[in-house]
């Protein structure tokens, strides 16, 4: 156990007035032994517990206690002299205690003196000391500072003060009656706020302990201003360039002046001096608070090119000070005037055929600006048949540079654009409208060069055939058209008698009813003529094609019979299978399509005995006759055309079988027959219709011949072979064998010609002189035998004519 040395005063008195005194240092560790109290009080250590030895509390707090095992007095709680003895004037800090024991009861007075140690550093009540000192304060002026405090006493208290280095201040230390130290701040050099507006100092207090302790405080000296500086501008004179026409209120310049003072001494007001003209003050505004100069009125370079002004800056001190500067504003020219264009002369309408270089308009250009800003360029919109030609300074002529055509462009909007050479460029434009007057320079034009107009035959007179209209791009009377037919005679008939055209709208009408079998086409010209001066015209070819209708019935020309009579034929009963019994031939004067003939049985008494070829009309046996077959057979053949609806004709053939054979003819003769081919189809139809006109007369003659003719018995002859070539269908019929006594007289067939000739193959009876020669158009047979014309000759004439 650690013991603390001290002196002990023992009063070996038997009275309770004896006091035991101890001295210890403050801040000793808890548990430290002060002294052996039992030994000092002559008490038996072994009886301390039994006699209940104890110490009284100090201010309800126990700092010391007794170890009842050893009798030692030890520290129970940390001892702080400055806390226990707050009065610094008391030289000694003593704790008074009473130690009590029982059996018998005894009380011992104990004093413990707390010795001071340097455990506290000096400190200032405020860490920062603020001082406001005017810059006009004289040298040697004193300023009191707050003292530092140190709770320690004696040598451990404050000993001295120190001040940080300063050329303007120092300190003076003084000692009070109680021995305390305090100091004053002394100004040793004049202050200048504009040079340094504050001073930061450090004041240090040091005690006398070992080791010494110290404390510091900051001294902030704020230098107060006095109005000892006049406002000053950045420059004595300013020169500003300002473009003309700036916006109202735009900033020209912001003047800046400074005053080294502060507060009201540094607050500056700006104003014009008396040397600034009234015009300048009307043009520009001066902000008195911040020195901004702004545009107040319109500025035009052409009016004023320069403005001079003098500006004063004045502070707000009690005795105000001021400064001034000169400002020159130079106005620079801007490209602020648009170029102008003026039309001096203009023809708003001209003819489309005016010659090139014709002057249409004269214009002038101008610009109020100068230099490059006043140089003007002029142009017109592109792709126009016009050009500009300079005639004199700033005068230009608009002339025709390309041929004009009203039908392509009837009107021109010509825009003149003028542009100066300033930056940025300014421009203007002027538009004039030029109208072209029409001249008769376009011929009427049909939309086709050739009109092919189909007309169905049997049309009604006055029927509208077509509308033949032409167009003329000219205007007014130059586009009014008149239509008429160019006269042309066909077969001594004028076109005006066949057709009519409306002169105003070109509608073409038929004046008569056309018949395809007579007239198949017409070719003529229509002319359209305008009303200009001189008039222009054009014509178009019109081809009228008459379209066929199925309006003609087929006509049966073989076998020939009078109207309403029955054809009677005889045939041997021993006729072979496939033998030609009869041949029905029909013709149709309609067109090829409508005249295509097909043959059918209407009545056939025995369908197993006879067959009919639907294309060539040949009736042949399908088998040999038997004894069971009836002697008389009745056949009705119908010939239909290919029209819609189909037309037809019928013939009734009565066949009778005979036992005797026909007279045979030993040889067959091939006779060439030449005739001219009717290349002109129309003429062919006319001849056919003419032949039909004599049908009644021919019918009477044929009837007389048939009544007078009697059949003659003849020997059986071998079947004859006939070969026929059809002219209508471009096909060749097979050879036929005639078994009837009359059939070979009538089997005359038309064949397709080669080089205008036709071959007819037929049997020639022995001893008969029968000559067939070439047939001219529209005629029948020219040469015959000595005998009277037979039925064959008449039928041949009809066949060829039709």
Return the SS3 of 755. coil
686 falls in which pLDDT band (50, 70, 90)?
A: low
Of the listed ranges 57-66, 67-76, 122-131, 742-751, the one predicted with least confidence: 742-751
562 falls in which pLDDT band (50, 70, 90)?
A: low
Cβ density class 698-737: b for 16+ within 10 Å, e for less: beeebeebbeeeeeeeeeebebbebebbbeeeeeebeebb
510 falls in which pLDDT band (50, 70, 90)?
A: very high
Sequential DSSP letters for 327-369: EEEEEEP---S--EEEEEEE-SEEETTPPTT-EEEEEEEE-SS
Give the Cα separation of 39 and 635 in Å (integer). Answer: 188
Q: 565-578: per-residue pLDDT in tens? A: 688 888 888 888 88
Bigger pLDDT: 641 or 709? 641
Give the Cα separation of 102 and 105 in Å (integer). Answer: 4
Helices (H) and strands (E) in the chain, counts: 8, 57
Q: 138-180: per-residue pLDDT in tens? A: 998 898 888 888 887 877 888 899 999 999 999 988 887 777 7
Q: 88-99: per-residue pLDDT in tens? A: 655 678 888 888
- CA-based end-to-end distance of the chain: 176
Give the Cα separation of 16 and 28 in Å (integer). Answer: 30
Identify the pLDDT of residue 682.
58
Query: Who contacts 741 (Cβ-Cβ below 8 Å, separation ≥6)?
Result: 570, 662, 711, 712, 714
Q: 410-421: per-residue pLDDT in tens? A: 999 999 999 988
3-state secondary structure 57-115: CECCECCEEEECCCCEEEECCCCCHHHHCCCCCCCCEEEEEEEEECCCCEEEEEEEEEE
Helical ranges in 176-257 per DSSP H: none
Which token pair is 444? 């009427």
Helix (H) or strand (E) holding 701: helix 695-708
Q: 698 and 794 in contact (C-beta within 8 Å)?
A: yes
Q: CA 728, 729, 730, 735: dihedral to nearest 10 degrees?
A: -100
Of the listed ranges 34-48, 314-328, 453-467, 760-774, the one predicted with least confidence: 760-774
735 falls in which pLDDT band (50, 70, 90)?
A: very low
Q: Rounded mean pLDDT of 273-285?
A: 92
Could you tell me which residues are beta bridge partners of residue 37?
none
Identify the pLDDT of residue 291.
93
Could you tell me which residues are beta bridge partners of residue 621?
610
Identify the pLDDT of residue 227.
83
Q: How many CA atoms lie within 13 A of 51 on its CB side?
A: 21
Is the per-residue pLDDT at 802 higher than 80?
Answer: no
Is the per-residue pLDDT at 283 higher than 90?
Answer: yes
Q: 478-492: per-residue pLDDT in tens? A: 888 999 998 776 666
Where are any strands of DSSP class E within 605-749?
610-612, 618-621, 632-640, 648-658, 668-674, 722-726, 731-736
Identify the pLDDT of residue 3.
35
Return the SS3 of 373. helix
Q: Rounded mean pLDDT of 179-206?
A: 88
Identify the pLDDT of residue 220.
92
Could you tell me which residues are beta bridge partners of residue 579?
none
Give the Cα separation of 180 and 151 in Å (integer). Answer: 12
Identify the pLDDT of residue 71.
85
Identify the pLDDT of residue 563.
62
Sequential DSSP letters for 104-165: TTEEEEEEEEEEP-S----EES-SEEEEEEETTPPTT-EEE-PPEE-S--GGGSEEEEEE--
Give the Cα separation of 85 and 616 in Å (integer). Answer: 168
Q: 317-358: per-residue pLDDT in tens? A: 888 889 999 999 998 888 888 899 999 899 899 988 899 999
Return the SS3 of 672. strand
Q: 584 and 601 in contact (C-beta within 8 Å)?
A: no
Identify the pLDDT of residue 789.
31
Q: Is the pTM of this model over 0.85?
A: no
Is the per-residue pLDDT at 198 higher than 60?
Answer: yes
Q: 381 and 468 in contact (C-beta within 8 Å)?
A: no
Residue 178 burial class via C-beta count within 10 angstroms: exposed 0-12, middle 13-18, buried 19 and up: exposed
Give the Cα separation of 705 and 770 in Å (integer). Answer: 18
Q: Which residue, among 626, 583, 623, 584, has the nearest Cα to 607 in the 3D structure?
A: 623
Is the per-residue pLDDT at 70 higher than 60?
Answer: yes
Give the Cα separation of 456 and 546 in Å (integer). Answer: 6
Is the per-residue pLDDT at 776 higher than 70?
Answer: no
683 falls in which pLDDT band (50, 70, 90)?
A: low
Q: How many CA atoms lie within 13 A of 735 on its CB side?
A: 10
Is the per-residue pLDDT at 711 higher than 80?
Answer: no
Give the Cα separation of 365 and 357 in Å (integer). Answer: 21
Q: Which residue, among 699, 646, 683, 689, has the nearest Cα to 776 in the 3D structure?
A: 683
Q: Rounded mean pLDDT of 441-462?
A: 90
Give the Cα separation of 522 and 545 in Å (integer). Answer: 7
Provide the 10 A C-beta neighbour count for residue 801: 19
Give the Cα separation of 145 and 131 in Å (integer). Answer: 9
Looking at every residue in the chain, the average pLDDT score rounds to 78
Is the per-residue pLDDT at 713 higher than 80?
Answer: no
**β-strand pairing of 470-471 with 445-446:** antiparallel
Q: Rounded mean pLDDT of 231-236?
A: 92
Give the Cα separation of 496 and 473 in Å (integer). Answer: 29
Identify the pLDDT of residue 307.
94
Give the Cα separation of 743 and 736 in Å (integer). Answer: 11
For the chain, percent of residues with pLDDT exceeding 90: 25
Domains and CATH numbers, the chain: 19-115 (2.60.40.60), 123-224 (2.60.40.60), 232-332 (2.60.40.60), 340-437 (2.60.40.60), 445-547 (2.60.40.60), 555-658 (2.60.40.60)
Give the Cα separation of 611 and 581 in Å (integer). Answer: 10
Q: Rounded mean pLDDT of 257-285?
A: 90
Identify the pLDDT of residue 749.
34
Give the Cα separation of 199 and 687 in Å (integer). Answer: 149
119 falls in which pLDDT band (50, 70, 90)?
A: confident
Could you tell me which residues are beta bridge partners of residue 59?
none
Of the listed ranges 510-519, 685-694, 732-741, the one predicted with least confidence: 732-741
Give the Cα separation of 791 and 152 in Å (integer). Answer: 184
Give the Cα separation of 336 and 303 in Å (integer). Answer: 14
365 falls in which pLDDT band (50, 70, 90)?
A: very high
Identify the pLDDT of residue 721.
32
Identify the pLDDT of residue 482.
92
Q: What does DSSP assign to residue 444?
A: -
Provide the 10 A C-beta neighbour count for residue 108: 19
Q: 132 and 185 in contact (C-beta within 8 Å)?
A: no
Q: What does DSSP assign to residue 17?
A: T
Identify the pLDDT of residue 327.
95
Give the Cα separation of 717 and 661 in Å (integer). Answer: 7
794 falls in which pLDDT band (50, 70, 90)?
A: very low
């Amino acid at each position: 156990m650690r013991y603390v040395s001290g002196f002990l005063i023992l009063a070996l008195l038997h009275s309770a007035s004896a006091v035991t005194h101890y001295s210890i240092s403050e801040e000793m560790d808890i548990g430290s032994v002060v002294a052996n109290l039992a030994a000092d009080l002559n008490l038996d250590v072994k009886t301390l517990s039994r006699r209940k030895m104890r110490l009284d509390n100090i201010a309800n707090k126990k700092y010391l206690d007794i170890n009842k095992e050893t009798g030692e007095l030890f520290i129970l709680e940390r001892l702080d002299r400055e806390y226990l003895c707050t009065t610094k004037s008391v030289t000694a800090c003593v704790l008074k205690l009473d130690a009590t024991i029982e059996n018998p009861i005894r009380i011992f007075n104990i004093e413990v003196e707390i010795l001071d140690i340097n455990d506290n550093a000096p400190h200032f009540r405020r860490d920062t000391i603020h001082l406001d000192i005017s810059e006009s304060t004289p040298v040697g002026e004193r300023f009191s500072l707050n003292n530092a405090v140190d709770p320690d006493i004696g040598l451990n208290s404050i000993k001295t003060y120190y001040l940080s280095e300063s050329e303007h201040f120092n300190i003076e230390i003084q000692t009070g009656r109680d021995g305390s130290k305090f100091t004053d701040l002394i100004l040793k050099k004049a202050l200048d706020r504009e040079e340094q507006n504050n001073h930061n100092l450090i004041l240090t207090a040091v005690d006398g302990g070992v080791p010494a302790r110290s404390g510091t405080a900051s001294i902030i000296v704020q230098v107060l201003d006095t109005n000892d500086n006049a406002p000053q501008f950045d420059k004595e004179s300013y020169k500003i360039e300002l473009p003309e026409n700036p916006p109202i209120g735009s900033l020209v310049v912001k003047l800046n002046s400074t005053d080294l003072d502060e507060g009201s001494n540094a607050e500056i007001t700006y104003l014009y001096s008396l040397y600034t003209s009234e015009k300048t003050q009307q043009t520009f505004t001066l902000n008195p608070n911040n020195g901004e100069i702004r545009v107040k009125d319109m500025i035009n370079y052409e009016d004023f090119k320069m403005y001079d002004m003098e500006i004063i800056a004045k502070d707000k001190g009690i005795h105000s000070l001021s400064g001034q500067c000169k400002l020159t504003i130079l106005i620079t020219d801007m490209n602020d005037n648009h170029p102008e264009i003026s039309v001096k002369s203009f023809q708003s309408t001209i003819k489309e055929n005016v010659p090139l270089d014709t002057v249409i308009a004269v214009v002038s250009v101008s610009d109020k600006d100068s230099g490059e800003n006043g140089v003007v360029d002029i142009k017109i919109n592109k792709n126009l048949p016009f050009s500009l030609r300079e005639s004199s300074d700033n005068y230009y002529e608009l002339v025709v540079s390309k041929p004009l055509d009203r039908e392509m462009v009837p009107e021109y909007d010509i825009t003149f654009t003028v542009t100066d050479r300033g930056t940025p460029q300014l421009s203007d434009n002027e538009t004039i409208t030029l109208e072209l007057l029409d001249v008769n320079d376009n011929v009427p034009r049909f939309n086709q060069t050739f009109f092919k107009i189909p007309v169905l035959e049997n049309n009604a007179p006055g029927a509208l055939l077509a509308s033949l209209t032409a167009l003329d791009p000219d205007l007014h009377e130059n586009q009014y058209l008149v239509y008429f037919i160019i006269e042309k005679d066909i077969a001594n008939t004028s076109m005006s008698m066949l057709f009519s055209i409306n002169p105003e709208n070109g509608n073409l009408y038929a004046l008569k009813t056309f018949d395809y079998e007579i007239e198949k086409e017409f070719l003529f010209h229509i002319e359209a003529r305008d009303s200009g001066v001189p008039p222009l015209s054009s014509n178009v070819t019109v081809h009228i094609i008459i379209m066929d209708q199925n309006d003609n019935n087929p006509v049966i020309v073989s076998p020939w019979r009078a109207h309403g009579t029955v054809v009677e034929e005889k045939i041997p009963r021993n006729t072979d299978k496939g033998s030609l019994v009869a041949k029905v031939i029909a013709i149709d004067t309609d067109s090829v399509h409508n005249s295509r003939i097909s043959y059918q049985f209407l009545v056939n008494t025995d369908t197993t005995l006879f067959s009919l070829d639907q294309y060539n009309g040949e009736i042949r046996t399908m088998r040999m006759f038997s004894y069971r077959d009836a002697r008389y057979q009745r056949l009705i053949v119908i010939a239909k055309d290919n029209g819609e609806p189909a037309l037809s004709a019928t013939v009734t053939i009565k066949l009778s079988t005979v036992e005797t054979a026909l007279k045979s003819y030993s040889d067959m003769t091939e006779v060439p027959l030449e005739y001219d081919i009717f290349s002109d189809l129309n003429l062919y139809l006319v001849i056919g219709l003419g032949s039909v006109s004599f049908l009644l007369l021919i019918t009477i003659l044929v009837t007389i011949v048939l009544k007078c003719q009697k059949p003659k018995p003849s020997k059986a002859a071998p079947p004859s072979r006939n070969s026929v070539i059809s002219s209508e269908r471009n096909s060749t019929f097979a050879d036929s064998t005639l078994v009837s006594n009359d059939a070979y007289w009538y089997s005359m067939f038309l064949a397709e010609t080669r080089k205008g000739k036709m071959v007819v193959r037929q049997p020639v009876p022995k001893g008969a002189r029968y000559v067939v020669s070439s047939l001219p158009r529209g005629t029948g047979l020219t040469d015959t035998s000595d005998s009277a014309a037979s039925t064959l000759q008449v039928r041949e004439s009809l066949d060829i004519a039709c």
